[in-house]
Every structure is written in structure tokens, then in C-alpha cells.
Structure 1
């Protein structure tokens, strides 16, 4: 039996009130008689009679139309308050811009449901603010035997891979290189997925800071010309090297680190750290680079290599210039005060300061002595040459880029 009285029964009772009111001595007797005839309670019939008098203006009170309007406004206010509470709770993940992952949305609906909010209300608020979700989706999610979405599983796998690189050199990557690194690890992942998951984990990679000038140009105006002319490409390894040095702060004073880089693969072929800026600071990594290339079985052929640097006094010194002459290496010096003339080296030094010195990935804690800087630099150079992905090299490492060059030449040399 329906709990709500049919509207036709009420209309019938109201007509009886109007037609037979004069037949009864009081409204109470009228209501009792009509209630028996239409099959409702006496009090119900009495309320109907009183409300009919109010609607007709014969008795003071709130009319039915006014009551309906008040009821509607109260429901609207209740709905707005509930929406506002739900929206305040959802601000944490709605403001990120991208759609939150489904587990986070379902957990939020769970929390709202525990707070007394209806599932439909929560889903409606989320949908109105750019995060569409249906109530049936939530109820399907709550089923014990529901199948797990493929995106949920993939997000979990990628998230785990991202967490594992925290504290590792690969944790320095931004979105673009992290995507290429994950693909090299066998994960079929899109850039937008990596961007979303890294943002959820608070991973942003590292960014370079402002570079400071470390080299002082020689006052002697006589120096070698610029052989590169800002063209930092090379047809093969061991044809063009660039060099520069930078400084690091330690507890015992400044430590200077000099590098020599092969332009072809941007590989660091030599480096050296010292507590002073004498000529040995830049001469030692050159000697190490020549020795290491010979040890690898790819020695420098006389007259085929150029060495480019800025106009610092170390690189224009007589001792350094004589060593280049003895090794039959062509010197190349950029213009004074122009960082673009040695832009490749400036870029690599910027990476060194950002990825190695400014983080605790390669050295835990502050740099106390020269030995601390050497330890961190050795780890960074090894990672840089053998495992770090380079966008300018097609997301390959410098060692891989060089190996590809020699592998391509091998068939030609064997035929010859």
C-alpha cells in the first residue's frame, strides 16, 4: 500500500468540505465525517480543512504555495551548503589542472560518504568542476571482484619506477628525459603520463642557476684565433676539443675543476680538480685526455685535433701553448667576455654545477675538502659519459654515440 495519499483523494475531500460545511455544527464534526467517507484519518482531514481556509484567505497562516516555496528554498540552501563542503574538500586535487587518477577520486568519494554526503551529490559536484564521474562508476569500483583498470596498473608500475630513482642520478631528469629513460627501461609510456605522475610525486628534476665568470682574460693581446666560430659540431671524435673550468665552495676554501670535452659526442675526455688556478689546473686534464684516448686504442693523430677555450690566462700561458705545440694540437681561443664562443663548454659546466655540486646525489652532505669534490666529480663524469641521456644526441649517451660512429666505420675499414 502506498504511504502517500493520492492527490485525487485530497481533492475529493476538499470538494466535500465546500459542499457540506453548512450541514455540520462545527469544523471538527465536518472533518470527522469526511474522513470516514474518503478513508483517511480525522486529523489529516482536519489539517486539509484548515489549510483550505488559509489558502482561501479565511484564516491566518502560510498558504500552500508559500510553504512549497519555503521548502524549495530550504532544499536549495541545503544543496548549496553540501556542495560547498564537498568542493572545499576536493580543492586539493581539483586545482592541479589534470584529471586525478581514479583511485584518488574513489578514495575522495569514500571520505565524503563517511562524512555523511550522498554519493550522487559528490559525483555531481566533481562533474560540475571538470572531473566527471558517475555514481555507478563508484559503486562498480567498490565491488570486491571488480577488474582493475589497465591505466591503474600501468600508473602503479610507472610510479614505482619513478620512486626507485629518487636519490639516484636519473632522479635529476625532467619530464622529457625521464620519459626517454623509462622507455629505455622497457616501459611503453607517454610524455603526458610521466608528467602527471611526476607532478603527483613532486618530482621536478633540477634546473640550472645563474653562471658566474671564473676565467680572467690574459692582458697580452697576442693569442690564437677562433677556429670553431661557434660551430660546436665535429665530423668525428678526436677532431675538436673544448675546455674550461669552474669553481666549487668547500669548508677549506675554493676548489677549481677543469674539463676537456670532445665536441663530436660531448664526451668528457679529461678533468682535474685543484685548489688553485695555475696552469696545471688546465694542463693536467689535457694530458689525462691524451693518455686515456691512447689507452682506449683511439690515439690522437698528429695535426687533426684542435683545442678550443676562452681567453683565460691559463689557456694563453706559454707553458700550455708549448704543450699544444709539442702534441701537434691546433690552439683555438674565443673572444674576450663572450660566453657564446665557448657555449658548449659553458653548458656542460652548468650541468656539472646543477646536477653534481648543487645536489646530494653524488656526495652526501657538504663539501669539506678537495677530496670530496673529486669524489663527487668522478661519479658525475662516469654517469654523464656512460648513462646520462642527451637530447642533442638523440637521447643517447656520449659513449653510445661514439661507439655508433666506430661501429659504422668498421665495415669500411675491414674492406679497405
Structure 2
């Protein structure tokens, strides 16, 4: 607002006189002279701001329009820019750049009341200080070519990394078993002592190749566990950021894009719970600290 006033004063100073304009607009003379003193620096600041907005747009586009202020700010700092988050927020708001918001979660599985309950080893404590201390599962689905494609994921609660996943046109036991088997293989087969939540409705068995302890948590559902429903999970984030943004015409296309997104999620997507590191970066730092 003040900038427009000084522009008006400067444009009409010769016609009406500076003193008269000050008196009519009731603005201080000192402010106008400070504005004049900064006239040379303004083009440079505007050019720097334009370059910063271009970088913000580049980051926003590179992540398919999903990143909000905090993730964009973290990405810029990762590139070596010492920039204030409030400045990023102000520029994004001014130029209409915003991330995608999370949709309401929809439950996809119901626990089997007839299945024997697993012991509640989680006790509603979904914090894990170490890798492979606790895993949780999540299931979601997308529609493609008139049918449903189901995705099951196994997530390390400490790093939020997707260790294993499986895609199928059904929700039978194999869907979860395949995801869990992949997770075990990702960790080299050494997962003794891991607590993995599961659901009686989907999986009542686990691979014989490892001895991880299974647990339901008090909610009693693998995909309906508190960890899966209260923290950003890859399946829900994927739906918001990829799956809801287009209609898959073929099963092959859906599988390919979900696979690409899961790879991106693990290696590049910044996570607020990890101090805006990607799961892969978090695990790398975790191993370095242990060494």
C-alpha cells in the first residue's frame, strides 16, 4: 500500500508539488525519502524474488503439485538456499501455488471376529526408535478398466519406508503375505523380533521364512491400525498425489504408475515426521549415527 503511495507522489511531484501531496495524503516525508533511497536496490530485489518464485514453481512441478509450504521450504534448503519459511509461504500465497490436501480416510478392511486374536504387543504405542522395531500394514485400492486393483504395503514405523508391497485384483491372504515376504527380503531376511501388525480379516498366516512377532494392536485390523490411519501412509498419500489425479485405463498402466510412485515415495518424497527427509535419507542418517 505504501509503495503505491510513493509511486503516486513520485509521478505527480512536478505537477502538484511534493509538499501539497504530503499534506493531502497525510503521509510522512521521511517515508518518501527512504523509498527514493532504495530505488536502485528494488529492481535487484524484484529480480531475485522472481528467480526464487521460478525455483518454487520448479520444485512444485517436479513433485507433481503435491508439495505445500513446508516441503517446498525443505527442498529449497536441501538445495543449499538459506531462506526463511515465512518468505516461501508469502510468495506461494501471492502466486497461487499450493499443495494438495489430504482427503478423508476410508476404511478398506474389517477384522474377522471369528479369527483367533493375536496378542496386543503394540499397546497403542506406535513410536519406534529403531529400524525394524515395528512394522505396520496398509491396504488401499484404485479402479481401473471396470475392476479394482488392491495395493498392500508394509511400512517401517521408524523410517516410514515402504519395505514391501503387493498388487492384486483381490484381497485374499496372498496379497498381504506377498507384501510381507518382500519386506523380509528387503531387510535381508533378518527380522527376528520385529512386531508387525496384521488383520484377521486379511491375513491369518505369515511366511515361515522369518520369526517376526505378529500383533493386532487394540484396533484389531492391519489396515485399520492407528498407525495406518493417523499418520501419512504411502497408500493414502499416493491416492491423494497420484491415484486421484487420473483415471487408469489399463491394469498395466496402474501397476506401473503405482510402482513409480512407491519408488519416489521411498527415495525422494519428504516426510514431516522425519524432519522433512525422505525415508531413504532418514535410514542413511540413522545408520551413520549408529556407526
Normalising by structure 2, we get a TM-score of: 0.82
Does structure 2 retain, via aligned residues, the 8 Å contact 1:250–1:366?
Answer: yes
Q: State the partner residue of 1:277.
A: 171
Match of 2:261 among 380, 398, 406: 380
Report the more deviating stretch, 367-376 or 194-203: 367-376
- Residues in 2 aligned to 1:291 and 1:135: alpha-carbon distance in whole angstroms: 69
Offset, 1:340: 10
Equivalences for 1:175-324 in 2 at 5 Å?
175-294=69-188, 299-301=189-191, 303-309=192-198, 311-316=199-204, 321=205, 323-324=206-207
Offset, 1:350: 2.5
- Residues in 2 aligned to 1:341 and 1:254: alpha-carbon distance in whole angstroms: 19
Unaligned runs of 5+ in 1: 1-93, 360-364, 411-416
- Residues in 2 aligned to 1:247 and 1:405: alpha-carbon distance in whole angstroms: 32
Q: State the partner residue of 1:401.
A: 282
How many residues in Structure 1 have an aligned counterpart in Structure 2? 283
Cα distance change of structure 1 residues 337 and 284 upon mapping to structure 2, 3 Å threshold:
closer
Equivalences for 1:359-370 in 2 at 5 Å?
359=245, 365-370=246-251
Offset, 1:177: 1.9
Unaligned runs of 5+ in 2: none
Equivalences for 1:315-354 in 2 at 5 Å?
315-316=203-204, 321=205, 323-336=206-219, 342-346=225-229, 347-348=232-233, 349-354=235-240
Cα distance change of structure 1 residues 324 and 155 upon mapping to structure 2, 3 Å threshold:
same
Normalising by structure 1, we get a TM-score of: 0.59
- Residues in 1 aligned to 2:158 and 2:44: alpha-carbon distance in whole angstroms: 43
- Residues in 1 aligned to 2:153 and 2:164: alpha-carbon distance in whole angstroms: 6
Q: CA RMSD of the aligned region, Å?
A: 3.6
- Residues in 2 aligned to 1:212 and 1:124: alpha-carbon distance in whole angstroms: 63
- Residues in 1 aligned to 2:221 and 2:164: alpha-carbon distance in whole angstroms: 24
Q: State the partner residue of 1:358.
A: 244
Match of 1:163 among 45, 53, 57: 57
Hey, which of these two has a bigger chunk of helix by percent?
A: 1
Offset, 1:305: 1.6
- Residues in 2 aligned to 1:119 and 1:389: alpha-carbon distance in whole angstroms: 56
Offset, 1:258: 0.7
Cα distance change of structure 1 residues 256 and 157 upon mapping to structure 2, 3 Å threshold:
same
Offset, 1:250: 2.1
Does structure 2 retain, via aligned residues, the 8 Å contact 1:123–1:135?
Answer: no
Q: State the partner residue of 2:46.
A: 152
Which of 1 and 2 has greater Rg? 1
